[in-house]
Amino acid sequence: MKIHLHIWRQESPDKKGRMESYDLDGVEPDMSFLEMMDVLNEKLTGEGQSPVAFDHDCREGVCGACSMVINGQAHGPKATTTTCQLYMRHFKDGAEIYIEPFRSGAFPVLRDLMVDRSAFDRIIQAGGYISNHSGPKPDPNSIPIEPAVQESSLDAASCIGCGACVAACPNGSAMLFTSAKVSHLGMLPQGQPERFERVASMVDQMEEEGFGSCRNYAECEAQCPKGISIAFIGRMNADYLKSKLIEPVDGRGKMHAQ
Amino acid sequence: MNRITTLYSSTIGKKFIAAVTGLILFGFLIGHVAGNLKVFTGTTDAGVPHVDEYGQFLKVAGEPFLPEMAGLWIARLVLLGSVVLHIVVVVQLAFRNLEARPVGYVRSKKAASTLAALWMMFSGTLIAVFIVFHLLHFTVGALPIGEFQHGAVYKNLYSSFSNPLIALGYVFVMGVLGFHLYHGVWSLFQTLGIDNPDRNKALRIFAIVATIGIVVGFSMVPLSFMAGALPAPVDYDPALLGH
């Protein structure tokens, strides 16, 4: 099949970028989207042009490295699918395909389609951990967990941190990512000791990174390659408000009756 | 206090304020539309329209604990404060959102966002302008539209809404208000962390039913006057109002 590509080219973070068009012939329907990009890059290299830089790693939908906005949607037109799991058979012969980087002030473009997603790492560092003893290994299943809670926590933990939620959100908000990371620990018994401290630190870090605000479009949920629910955003809102309005700062102070 | 200031500076804190003030204003709309429907219930035996009596009741609400007009002014200040806070935090967030994506997309395709959600700032701005217009029109009586007499609610409505342009203009704004409520009434529960998958359907249905109820309820008044379905006002002794 033959396709017409329009790709964002930008040499470095401080250079101005632009859309460039490429025609690509001989594309097999069974190629993955990234394999098609490989073919394009071989062609460009052969012609003496610089290849298109893009992020990729596992190419099996679990690492969260691939990060393209394809025809206006993060990871392309197919729901709950990463770019690497998208195949050329999902496009028509002769299709016009627009490829852009994830757009966010907090994700500066490094080159072409590669963006710097370190902001997510800093959010994780702010509170995405639990405290655990390093002594003898406890008995398996020694902490009872309600199956529904465990499943829901695993749903949140399926977030691969790709940043599609930020790219998809009309406001460039990172609420879905942060809420998934806050919830998958905060819902489990092991995550209780830091539960409110965690949500406060991670949200405060998210704010500092300059992401936009949530307007409950649910666009993130629709474009998330793992289909993570905005129910976690509601849950994080409740926990964050509790951490700022209800949880005691000084739990040990003396009090007076009159 | 430090926690409160970080809460206010956060987007979630600002959304919390927008949600709480939105809930107050939503509650006001329900009361307002219920009061408006008194237009359809006719007059007392003495010939005073029920809606005029209702207007008088609002002025003396809270008596004898509060002096005349005090209850009304307390409510007005709470509403004004809510409107101002609602607008201030939302505008601050809108600027933040613009900064969050300095370079936009060439192609953008929405997978889930409704037009109501995407146009909240437009519908909100129009509603804010309408509130000023509406207060000048029917509370102050400062606009050269129809006749205006303080306290004669029914007569004022009849006089203004007999003009189809005014009546249809009001109905149009109510449609825009419906757009705002369709998203806002559900969205506020999500922002407050009250929505979850168990309740989502119920809250969505609540938002839709409330929106339809409010829009239809409000629109029926100008439409009925415009269509001539309501009787012309009859002059009565204003002294009858207080009793």
Residue B243 located in a structural domain: no
- Higher per-residue confidence, A137 vs A122: A122
Q: What is the largest CA-CA distance in chain A?
A: 84
CA B89 – CA B13 distance, rounded (Å):
9
Q: Min CA distance, B143 vs chain A (Å)?
A: 36
CA angle B196, B197, B203 (to 5 degrees): 70
Q: Tell me whether residue B106 is in a domain.
A: no
Is residue B243 predicted with pLDDT exceeding 80? no
Q: Which residue on chain B is closest to A17 by alpha carbon?
A: B103
Residue A153 has pLDDT above 90, yes or no: yes
Spatial distance between the Cα atoms of B94 and A257, rounded to a whole number of angstroms: 45
pLDDT interval class at B63 (50, 70, 90): confident
| Beta carbons of A234 and B196 less than 8 Å apart | yes
DSSP code per residue over B141-206: --SSSS---TT-HHHHHHHHHTSHHHHHHHHHHHHHHHHHHHHHHHHHHHHTT---TTTHHHHHHH
Å from A95 to nearest chain B CA?
14
pLDDT value, residue B1:
65
Task: Give the chain B residue nearest A152 (alpha carbons).
Answer: B197
A230 close contact with B: CB closer than 8 A: yes
Of B97, B110, B118, the CB nearest to A212: B97
CB contact under 8 A, A100 and B193: no
Q: And the tokens for A23?
A: 């025609």
pLDDT tens track for A82-100 = 999 999 999 999 999 999 9
Q: Is residue A170 within 8 Å of A217, Cβ to Cβ?
A: yes
Work out the average pLDDT over A45-49.
97
Judge whether B53 lies within some domain: yes
To test the contact with chain B by mutation, choose from A16, A217, A242, A250 the residue with the greatest count of B C-beta atoms within 10 A, namely A217
pTM: 0.94
Which residues in chain A are contacts of B7 at CB distance < 8 A? 241, 244-245
Is B115 touching A (CB cutoff 8 A)? no
B107 contact A CB<8A = yes
**pLDDT tens per residue across span B170-210:** 999 999 999 999 999 999 999 999 999 999 999 999 999 99
For residue B79, the enclosing domain spans 11-101+114-233
Cα nearest neighbour of A231 on chain B: B196
**In this structure, is residue B108 part of a structural domain?**
no
> Any CB–CB contact under 8 A between B118 and chain A?
yes
User: What percent of chain A has pLDDT above 90?
Assistant: 92
DSSP chain A: --EEEEEEE-SSTTSPPEEEEEEE----TTSBHHHHHHHHHHHHHHTTPPPPP---S-SSSSS----EEETTEET-SSTT--GGG-BGGGS-TT-EEEEEEPP-TTS-EEETTEE--HHHHHHHHHH-------SSPPPTT-S---HHHHHHHHHHHT-----HHHHH-TT-B-HHHHHHHHHHHHTSGGGSTTHHHHHHHHHHHHHHTT-B------HHHHH-TT---THHHHHHHHHHHHHHHTS-S-SS------
Predicted confidence (pLDDT) at residue A200 exceeds the cutoff of 80: yes
Q: Which of A215, A217, A224, A237 to mutate to test the interface with B (most CBs of B within 10 A)?
A: A215
B5 belongs to a structural domain: no
Count the Cβ atoms, other than its own, within 10 Å of residue B181: 26
- Residue A209's pLDDT is 98
Contacts with B85 (C-beta within 8 Å, 6 or more apart), sequence order: B17, B21
Question: What digits encode the pLDDT tens for the residues B69-87?
Answer: 999 999 999 999 999 999 9
The rounded distance, in Å, linking the Cα atoms of B79 and B134 is 15
A72–B108 C-beta distance less than 8 A: yes
Would you state the pLDDT for residue B4?
A: 86
Q: Do A215 and B101 touch (CB under 8 A)?
A: no
Which residues in chain A are contacts of B191 at CB distance < 8 A? 214, 216, 237
Does residue A216 sit at the B interface (CB-CB below 8 Å)?
yes
For residue B2, being part of any structural domain is answered with no
**CA separation for the pair B227, A207 (Å, rounded):** 53
Is B3 a domain residue? no
Average pLDDT over residues A174-187: 98
Total number of domains in chain B:
1
Within an 8 Å CB–CB cutoff, is residue A209 touching chain B?
A: no
Q: Is residue B228 part of a domain?
A: yes
Distance to chain A for B201, nearest Cα, Å: 13
Residue B62 DSSP one-character state: T
* Range in A52-61, A129-138, B89-98 the model is least confident about: A129-138
Domain at B155, CATH number: 1.20.1300
Residue-range domains of chain A with CATH:
3-111 (3.10.20.30), 118-245 (1.10.1060.10)
Interchain pair B11, A235: CB under 8 A: no
- Nearest 5°: the CA angle A21, A22, A27 is 140
Structure-token pair, residue B93:
């967030």
What whole-number distance in Å separates Cα of residue A97 and Cα of residue A67?
Answer: 15
Q: Which residue has the tokens 């606009």?
A: B143
Tell me the percentage of chain B whose pLDDT exceeds 70.
Answer: 99
Query: In the predicted model, what is the mean pLDDT of residues A161-178?
Result: 98
CB A172 within 8 A of CB A93: no
Tell me the C-alpha distance between A111 and A11, whole Å. Answer: 5
Instruction: Give the pLDDT band of residue A127 (cuts 50, 70, 90).
Output: very high
Confidence (pLDDT) at A223: 97
3-state secondary structure of B43: strand
A156 touches B at CB < 8 Å? no
- Kindly tell me the burial class for residue B89, based on how many C-beta atoms sit within 10 Å of its own C-beta (0-12, 13-18, 19 or more): buried
> How confident is the prediction for chain A on average, in pLDDT?
96
pLDDT at A137: 85
pLDDT at residue B18, as a whole number: 98
Distance from C-alpha of B231 to C-alpha of A202, rounded to nearest angstrom: 62
